[in-house]
Structure 1
């Protein structure tokens, strides 16, 4: 029994609670819109002044989120701030910050720990803290719990600690924040109950699990499942290619089986904030227990080798046209990590661009979702998106179809490109100027 929990649950059920979203990116922004849209007052906290200023002006910086939705949230009382002291006004704090890998491919929890340290002076009785960032099992207990309790509060009685992994799929029209079931694990039963009360008004289905560790492991399993199966089909692609078989036709045929098979399609490598990163969170943590996750690490090796494989296909194609790779002009089509979005996190397209530049290639790109190459932590190109026209395509020795946006005119690309390296299986009919990669 906790009077703080009972009071918090009541406030959440009546929508009198104030929701704080910490980190206003691809996860935090849709979550803010959902809570604002159902009648909660929401305060957004971010360290990026530019994001905060844009939101307070009613502007969106994410392509698939319309500015009108931001304006509606502001009209409903939403405001963004860089001032972490505003956390005292909130009843629930949902942390949606990055969890990348460092250069040694080890978990970088600095965004999580720095965020909690910044919030630490403002934790109070009645607060609910929910971490949504993907991480290794034990993070909530090992990193958040001692910091939340540092001021003398007791988790489970005074404050409530939850892990609820994000499951956003940017650009997927079939799912939205509301319709994707939400995993919720609490540090105690009271924490779990408070977490259920937080998410139940906003999400159609809340799935309760027994602990934060189970919730953390669930998220990793979901993404490792994808990474391993994509690694498998990428390896199958190489074998099929040597045998003169179209792997995309094979996957399509296998997908007609109504049981026991889930189709995964090959590509130029893994991208996004989850699939290329999350498996290594588990492999790193497993070493603490004396375990070596060979299966996961092998799939990682296969997937990480794909950009080099694409470049090798380009080299072969240019060679057949009597052209050296060095000083060739190559256009990369699509630099977002997946189609129909502008999200470039961990995009294999960018790695392909870097591999080409190191080999003396004159690189350009075309991606209407990314008009200008953005500032990134590790990648730097002073480029803007090339217009896709018959004349411009003719200026390039080859184009690499890396991300298959629906807005591309694929017939025009085929008709006017000297050489197309197709990593996405868009051109199923054999053509003299198409090489599958």
Structure 2
């Protein structure tokens, strides 16, 4: 049976969209070239380890019972009215976004593209990607013309894993179409799922929204991280500083430090336009500096760990260190870019004996070796020479943990004041 919607890419972007669309009664097919991903979804399981509460195995089974289909066959793409590309883009070694997965999805879609289809891009991308990279692939592969034969628009993903207040439907959706008609076609589709649609002037403006929102987060987290190091050095309680500062009703938004940043929202510098093979010549210096500051935080955590152990008469070599929460954020098992891996590997290199606990991550490997998982959190904390809280999952009783742990370093400031050493 033909579907109304095809979601290309069933990862961290595509699955939430497919779930929201299915819940809204939209007949949805999910396309992914990875047979493992499709097989897991068809079996009613999540294709990756860990869940964030917004999508669980039970949620996948509800999607299937509501008619959702997952497939590796691109023939399904030729029978839909709307196609949304949610392919992953990651930051490469040259600090340029890798748009290869978008290109693969575009070529698969172009071969099946029919007139009057609405094509949307949600993947993280540079301003100009929709028009200068995606459009030529779709037009050359289909023989159709964007803006005349089919609608084309960009909509930045704003999905926040683990957020119980703001989900896909109640987060305003920004859209920017190639033409006014493209924008309205996109608005008509997203209006079936989202409570509010915000129209940008065009796809470049919508793409720049993603650049601004992502970099805003990274720059402000970098400021908070620098303040954490500064305040610790001068003996000031940063967490009390933030608590007081956020009472200001204007001109301030609270950001808090941590052991590093991760996730799929990588800092984007449009100076690195890999798909054009050229540089704009004016990089976003604030973004570069923020990336440098945030990239130093795992090493700072290691330094604090070693200092705390030394102050309590212990060496890092041979010390038993328990890491709590190894995903990139609280209440999710997604490990994309998580600082936990670097922290664990550096502790191992110092000779520490590492174990971990995370309710969302049943297995974890670092440096090619499996890391022992603590079955009983509080017993493990009582045995460990040092417990490091990396992610304050809601399931953690931090007051009880502080009582049980021999030595607790809280990198998130989530434990009660005075109960632990804070970053």
- Short-chain TM bin: over 0.9
| CA separation of 1:126 and 1:230: change in aligned 2, threshold 3 A | same
Query: Hey, what's the Cα distance between the residues in 1 that align with 2:203 and 2:230?
Result: 41
- Could you tell me which residue of structure 1 aligns to residue 259 of structure 2? 268
How far residue 17 of structure 1 moved from its aligned partner, in angstroms, is 6.5
The 5 Å alignment of 1:217-236 reads 217-236=208-227
Runs of 4+ in 1 over 6 A off after TM superposition: none
- Could you tell me which residue of structure 2 aligns to residue 13 of structure 1? none
Q: Confirm whether residue 85 of structure 1 aligns to residue 75 of structure 2.
A: yes
Out of 308-317 and 327-336, give the one that drifted further. 327-336
How far residue 343 of structure 1 moved from its aligned partner, in angstroms, is 1.4
| CA separation of 1:249 and 1:28: change in aligned 2, threshold 3 A | same
- Could you tell me which residue of structure 1 aligns to residue 187 of structure 2? 196
Out of 316-325 and 287-296, give the one that drifted further. 287-296
How far residue 57 of structure 1 moved from its aligned partner, in angstroms, is 2.7
Query: Hey, what's the Cα distance between the residues in 2 that align with 1:404 and 1:48?
Result: 32
How far residue 83 of structure 1 moved from its aligned partner, in angstroms, is 1.0
- Could you tell me which residue of structure 1 aligns to residue 27 of structure 2? 41
How far residue 329 of structure 1 moved from its aligned partner, in angstroms, is 1.9
- Could you tell me which residue of structure 2 aligns to residue 112 of structure 1? 102
- Could you tell me which residue of structure 1 aligns to residue 124 of structure 2? 134
Would you say the 8 A contact 1:22–1:46 is kept in 2?
Answer: yes
- In the superposition, the TM-score normalised over structure 2's length comes to 0.93
Would you say the 8 A contact 1:371–1:384 is kept in 2?
Answer: no
| CA separation of 1:390 and 1:107: change in aligned 2, threshold 3 A | closer
Deviations 1:178-205 (A, max 9, x none): 1010011111222212111111111111
Deviations 1:399-435 (A, max 9, x none): 111111111122332223222121111234335xx43
Would you say the 8 A contact 1:370–1:385 is kept in 2?
Answer: no
Q: Confirm whether residue 370 of structure 1 aligns to residue 347 of structure 2.
A: no
Query: Hey, what's the Cα distance between the residues in 2 that align with 1:186 and 1:107?
Result: 22
Query: Hey, what's the Cα distance between the residues in 1 that align with 2:372 and 2:144?
Result: 51
Q: Confirm whether residue 25 of structure 1 aligns to residue 11 of structure 2.
A: yes
Query: Hey, what's the Cα distance between the residues in 2 that align with 1:338 and 1:63?
Result: 9
How far residue 396 of structure 1 moved from its aligned partner, in angstroms, is 1.9
RMSD over aligned Cα, in angstroms?
A: 2.0
How far residue 379 of structure 1 moved from its aligned partner, in angstroms, is 6.6
Q: Confirm whether residue 382 of structure 1 aligns to residue 370 of structure 2.
A: yes
Would you say the 8 A contact 1:231–1:299 is kept in 2?
Answer: yes
How far residue 381 of structure 1 moved from its aligned partner, in angstroms, is 4.2
- Specify every segment of 5 or more residues in structure 2 that has no aligned partner in the other structure, as ranges: none
Out of 136-145 and 305-314, give the one that drifted further. 136-145
Would you say the 8 A contact 2:271–2:280 is kept in 1?
Answer: no
Would you say the 8 A contact 2:298–2:342 is kept in 1?
Answer: yes
Q: Confirm whether residue 429 of structure 1 aligns to residue 417 of structure 2.
A: yes
Q: Which of the residues 321, 340, 355 maps onto 2:331?
A: 340
How far residue 386 of structure 1 moved from its aligned partner, in angstroms, is 1.3
Q: Confirm whether residue 55 of structure 1 aligns to residue 41 of structure 2.
A: yes
Q: Confirm whether residue 352 of structure 1 aligns to residue 343 of structure 2.
A: yes
Q: Which of the residues 133, 146, 156 maps onto 2:136?
A: 146
Query: Hey, what's the Cα distance between the residues in 2 that align with 1:26 and 1:102?
Result: 18
Deviations 1:145-167 (A, max 9, x none): 11111032111111121110110
Would you say the 8 A contact 2:387–2:405 is kept in 1?
Answer: yes
Query: Hey, what's the Cα distance between the residues in 1 that align with 2:412 and 2:21?
Result: 37
- Could you tell me which residue of structure 1 aligns to residue 383 of structure 2? 395
How far residue 306 of structure 1 moved from its aligned partner, in angstroms, is 0.5
Query: Hey, what's the Cα distance between the residues in 1 that align with 2:346 and 2:271?
Result: 27
| CA separation of 1:196 and 1:384: change in aligned 2, threshold 3 A | farther
Out of 210-219 and 68-77, give the one that drifted further. 68-77
How far residue 297 of structure 1 moved from its aligned partner, in angstroms, is 1.0
Query: Hey, what's the Cα distance between the residues in 1 that align with 2:378 and 2:139?
Result: 63
The 5 Å alignment of 1:225-304 reads 225-274=216-265, 277-280=266-269, 282-285=270-273, 288-304=279-295
Query: Hey, what's the Cα distance between the residues in 1 that align with 2:368 and 2:390?
Result: 18
Query: Hey, what's the Cα distance between the residues in 2 that align with 1:307 and 1:342?
Result: 19
The 5 Å alignment of 1:139-218 reads 139-150=129-140, 151-218=142-209
- In the superposition, the TM-score normalised over structure 1's length comes to 0.90
| CA separation of 1:144 and 1:390: change in aligned 2, threshold 3 A | closer
Q: Secondary structure at the match of 1:278?
A: coil
Would you say the 8 A contact 2:52–2:331 is kept in 1?
Answer: no
- Specify every segment of 5 or more residues in structure 1 that has no aligned partner in the other structure, as ranges: 1-15
| CA separation of 1:215 and 1:409: change in aligned 2, threshold 3 A | same
- Could you tell me which residue of structure 2 aligns to residue 4 of structure 1? none
How far residue 389 of structure 1 moved from its aligned partner, in angstroms, is 3.9
Would you say the 8 A contact 1:157–1:190 is kept in 2?
Answer: no
Query: Hey, what's the Cα distance between the residues in 2 that align with 1:155 and 1:248?
Result: 51
Query: Hey, what's the Cα distance between the residues in 2 that align with 1:388 and 1:411?
Result: 16
Q: Secondary structure at the match of 2:268?
A: helix
How far residue 42 of structure 1 moved from its aligned partner, in angstroms, is 0.5
Q: Secondary structure at the match of 1:279?
A: coil
